[in-house]
Amino acid sequence: GENVEQHPSTLSVQEGDSAVIKCTYSDSASNYFPWYKQELGKGPQLIIDIRSNVGEKKDQRIAVTLNKTAKHFSLHITETQPEDSAVYFCASLSDYKLSFGAGTTVTVRA
């Protein structure tokens, strides 16, 4: 089955700085890569996604890049704010099933 690895497991940044989270996947047939943000006591919320025919996608302060050849994708958050503090999960879709990374706990220091 699909194996998704996510790094780092924790990330602490100063407010206003950028945060980068990286993921790799194993199934070359995977074609859809969403990122989720999970706050305490809540379910994962989709924040951005990218499909395999696109290399980069941006939505305000959030951007995702995909390198299909290397099988890795990354989340970039610019101008971080305290409300960006949460656990972030990458995922890879193969055969309608999402496989998730282990998560990155992001802490934005004021």
Partner 1 sequence: DAGVIQSPRHEVTEMGQEVTLRCKPISGHDYLFWYRQTMMRGLELLIYFNNNVPIDDSGMPEDRFSAKMPNASFSTLKIQPSEPRDSAVYFCASSPQGGQPQHFGDGTRLSIL
Question: Smallest distance, Å, CB 105 to partner 1?
Answer: 12
Question: Binding of partner 1 at residue 96 (CB under 8 A)?
Answer: yes
Question: Binding of partner 1 at residue 73 (CB under 8 A)?
Answer: no
Which of these segments, 19-27, 61-69, 77-85, 91-99, binds partner 1 (CB under 8 A)? 91-99
DSSP string, the chain: ---EEEE-SEEEEETTS-EEEEEEE--TT--EEEEEEE-TTS--EEEEEEETT-SEEEETTEEEEEETTTTEEEEEE-S--GGG-EEEEEEEEETTEEEE---EEEEEE-
Residues 23-62 that bind partner 1 (CB under 8 A): 32, 34, 36, 41-46, 49
Residues at the site binding partner 1, with contacts judged by CB under 8 A: 32, 34, 36, 41-46, 49, 89, 93, 96-103
